[in-house]
Amino acid sequence: MIQSNYQLIAYSNGEVIWNSGIVTGSESQFIRYDGAELVSRQQVNWNLSVTTVDETGIQETAHSEFARFEMGLLHPADWQAKWIEPESEIDIEDRKPAPYLRRTLEVKPGLKQARIYQTAHGLYEFWINGHTGTEDKFKPGLTSYYARIQIQAYDITKLLKEGSNAWAVMLGDGWWRGMTGGTVKNNFGYKLHYFGQIELTYENGEREVIGTDERFKYATGGMLASDMLMGDIFDARKEFVDWKLAVFDDNSWMNVHCTTEHADVRLIASSSVPVREKEQFTAQPFRDAAGQLVLDFGQNIAGYVKMKLKNCKAGQKIRLVHGEDLKDGCFSLDNIKHGVLQSSEFQEVIYYCSGNAEEEYCPLFSIFGFRYVLVEGYNEDINEGDFTAIAVYSDMEETGSFICSNLLINKLVLNSFWSQKGNFMDVPVDCPTRERNAWTGDAQIYVRTAADFMNVYSFFEKWLKDLSLEQYASGKVGITFPSTSSVHNPVELERNIKDNPLWALAGPSGNGSIGEDSAGWGDAAVWIPYMIYLCYGDKQILVNQYETARKWVDYMLACAKEHNPLYEQESQYLNYEEGELDADYIFDTKMHFGEWLEPITKEDTGESVAEAIIRMRTHGNPRVATAYMCRSAENVAHMAQILGNQEDCTKYKKIADKIRKVYDRYLIGDDGVIEPGHQAAYVRVLAMDLCSEEKRESVVKQLLKEIENNNYRLNTGFLSTPFLLHVLVDYGYSEIAFRILEQTENPSWLHAVLLGSTTILENWDGMDRHHGSYNHYSYGAVCDFLFSRVAGITPLFEAPGYREFELRPIIGGTLTHAEASYECPYGTIRSRWKKTKNGLIYECSVPVNTRARVYLPDGQCISVGSGDYRFSVGA
């Protein structure tokens, strides 16, 4: 069934403001509004009519229900609010209590609607008459705060009543001044601020505006400290009773003062995917080998624990410590403690009881990575529901699922999905425990798989805009963004560098510093929007990010033209072709992380961190960096072609061809040898098409030799692991790919599954050595192989967003059946195969308005339109 036409009509105040007319054709995604200019606060209702035609020519027209949206505040003149500051003198080193803010407002008879628009430097929670105003958490989200900050808008009509009402707010340190990046605080500023506006609209058309100003009062209460990483200190004895209600007497509270600090930063409508509470887990209490009370929630998550306490004395101290590991039968943080955190208390809640018969507590501004919680100071019996773990992450639509006959692989898929959930909280971080940095390398590795599991378009669209804002003038792209390494706060950066020269890694203002040139990390500027376009088919992501991507490629090319004295006697520095030095197309300068955590390099070399940085900085990593320079140049050329920029397309395609030629000549031996002992070197070259036809067979043979020498276990690091199995299938070695996939000896994907992991590890042997994060999503990128190869669901650049796609399942290994479903923009794609005694049964579903090319294992290729299909393939 195919769409033959559509019509969109939008209304405002009962009048048509846009009528698309009847548009002939099958276009049904990313239709842009093209009506009258919209204004602040405008409410728009719209509906859709669609006519479809089936294979017999029968037409059918369907009409949608009305949908609606409302515009926010679009112009500075719409605001009467002022930024308010509840804190005066503070100690920038100490942890600080959370400011409590409140004021009352009068609501006259005849209220029709009420809206609140608000944001903060820090995090905020708000209540109207004691009722929580939203289920969204960790507002206003992380952006490049010195460039833009998000405003959230909520409907509070039902929370208000005629007469006196209370507007209450609490502020938390959050990303603004809390501990971020593992060891950094005060990244953006030292004080917390709040900015908000309530607008009341009455039946008679009157609009009343109540904005934040000096009439707000503040105090400090039970929340003595709140930090996303370090956790909470809460004294229930100091908490005000009914402070969120209009009847509360706040005469002893102090008045806030208005501030213009950071007030000129651009306010934008929130583009974050809302962060919300999701799955909940019941505690299984036990005593560990040391006799400590430990709660096991059965799943490693990012979130917090809601606790219900009973029979506690006033002032009784309850301490919860959150961790991922049991070591020698005991609760342990050893796997995630390092650096400053080695001697610090973090991931903990300290709660001083009120003395009531029953009391409850749940963090507002802290989030932890954990499966286990150590409980100290509580001796009552623990019943079901007393301690509940709540997973918290960006509330994206779940789109993909995969199951097969190998139960360990099924668990690997769940582990990968849970690592995505645990690390996708407003921005994609590396781990929810010690660092929580939004690393570019991890994200570009995983983005394709992320899109299999969830609808991540909006999530990455928002994040990539901050990448563009923080890109250096040279074109360099930082290794994390928004940067959480004090680069925004020059005072903090100077202090940190003075205390420890390695803080130079964070990058001062200007052109950053060492560590921020890294290929494979900076290439996120190119690869992520490129993959998002493939998966969703919207050119807007390329429009948004093209200049950022192009500037990154130009930066790499400029770095390649810098000479590295270590290599100047090699032949690439002596040979010219068409007037250009070959070495100018080899990126052999700057510091690169390369195949991060490659298992063969984990042995202790005796190098200090400083010595390792010096080595990486002086030697560069030409095989890795040049490969990514080539791939990104080619991606930019394709982006330019899609956007109709033929001049750039031709330019960057020529550059990519030149890099590929030089790479083949100087970095690949005539016998196909690249880097003995390293599978990654061969995977990279084959995945990125960097070798000539003359050398290709030899390179493949060298890869197979490396795999055999490692007993069919992988030894790839961060960058090449996602491509290993794809490369083997592409070159006709699918059985070896399945053998590695199903390998259970370390290093392998299933080794940690056998050890009981519930998420993806940072290190292949992390649970063996109790080392590194247990929730690091990068290596979970293997799941794209399961979706796109084992189940065979593959998008195509010639018809992106699954308008047309391939169904090309690969049968192999011990698997007897496999199936996947994927909710693409057009509907649900299903692919399922099952071995039988007579051969193979393959079933698939193709959504309305799409087409698929079905490749069966016997070599048949069948083009099909929407519908459900079943094929039998003989043995």
Q: Read out DSSP for 701-717? A: HHHHHHHHHTTT-----
pLDDT for 167 equals: 98
Using DSSP's 3-state secondary structure scheme, residue 85 falls into strand
CATH number of this structure's domain 2-70: 2.60.40.10
Dihedral sign (CA 35, 41, 42, 43): positive
Tell me the percentage of the chain whose pLDDT exceeds 90.
Answer: 88
pLDDT for 20 equals: 96
Pairing type for strands 266-269 and 148-155 reads parallel
pLDDT value at 507 more than 80: no
Q: What is the mean pLDDT of the chain?
A: 94
Segment 80-99 shows an average pLDDT of 94
Question: What are the C-alpha distances in Å from 486 to residues 64, 269, 602, 608?
Answer: 50, 25, 29, 24
pLDDT value at 713 more than 80: yes
Segment 481-491 shows an average pLDDT of 73
Segment 318-341 shows an average pLDDT of 91
pLDDT for 502 equals: 53
Residue 494's pLDDT band (boundaries 50, 70, 90)?
low
Residue 342's pLDDT band (boundaries 50, 70, 90)?
low
What is the amino acid identity at position 130?
G
Instruction: Give the separation between CA 752 and CA 727, rounded to whole angstroms.
Output: 24
Most confident stretch, 84-93, 342-351, 497-506, 699-708: 699-708
For every residue of 320-374, DSSP letters joined together read EEEESEEETTEEE-TTT--GGGGGS--SEEEEE----SEEEE--SS--EEEEEEE
Burial 95-120 (b: 16+ CB within 10 A, else e): bbbbbbbbbbbebeeebebbbbbbbb
604 vs 688, higher pLDDT: 688
Structure confidence by residue, pLDDT tens digits, 254-294: 999 999 988 889 999 999 999 999 999 999 999 999 999 99
365 vs 91, higher pLDDT: 365
pLDDT for 602 equals: 42
Using DSSP's 3-state secondary structure scheme, residue 756 falls into coil
pLDDT value at 484 more than 50: yes
Q: Where are the beta strands (DSSP E) in 405-466?
A: 424-425, 427-428
Structure confidence by residue, pLDDT tens digits, 778-818: 999 999 999 999 999 999 999 999 999 999 999 999 999 99
pLDDT for 497 equals: 60
Residue 616's pLDDT band (boundaries 50, 70, 90)?
confident
- Homologous superfamily (CATH) of 276-393 is Galactose-binding domain-like (2.60.120.260)
pLDDT value at 609 more than 80: no
For every residue of 250-304, DSSP letters joined together read -TTSEEPEE--TTTTSEEEE--SPPEEEEEEEE-EEEE-TTS-EEEEEEEEEEEE
376: phi then psi, degrees, rounded to nearest 5: -125, 140
Q: Residue 690: name the closest of 757, 623, 740 by CA.
A: 623
pLDDT for 508 equals: 46
Instruction: Give the separation between CA 289 and CA 480, rounded to whole angstroms.
Output: 39
Instruction: Give the separation between CA 599 and CA 314, rounded to whole angstroms.
Output: 52
pLDDT value at 84 more than 90: yes
Instruction: Give the separation between CA 556 and CA 652, rounded to whole angstroms.
Output: 13
pLDDT for 373 equals: 98
Protein fold of 804-874: Maltose phosphorylase, domain 3 (2.60.420)
| 76-275 and 276-393 agree in CATH topology | yes
pLDDT value at 590 more than 70: yes
> Do 519 and 497 meet the contact criterion of CB atoms below 8 Å apart?
no
Q: Where are the beta strands (DSSP E) in 203-243?
A: 207-211, 217-220, 223-227, 231-235
186 vs 350, higher pLDDT: 350
Q: Residue 141: name the closest of 174, 189, 185 by CA.
A: 174
Q: Residue 846: name the closest of 861, 826, 873, 860 by CA.
A: 826
Instruction: Give the separation between CA 518 and CA 719, rounded to whole angstroms.
Output: 12
> Do 129 and 165 meet the contact criterion of CB atoms below 8 Å apart?
yes
pLDDT value at 399 more than 90: yes
Instruction: Give the separation between CA 770 and CA 22, rounded to whole angstroms.
Output: 63
Domain ranges of the chain: 2-70, 76-275, 276-393, 804-874
pLDDT for 680 equals: 98
Q: What is the second-level CATH architecture of the domain 76-275?
A: Sandwich (2.60)
Using DSSP's 3-state secondary structure scheme, residue 588 falls into coil
For every residue of 799-866, DSSP letters joined together read STTTTEEEE-----TT-SEEEEEEEETTEEEEEEEEEETTEEEEEEEE-TT-EEEEE-TTS-EEEE-S
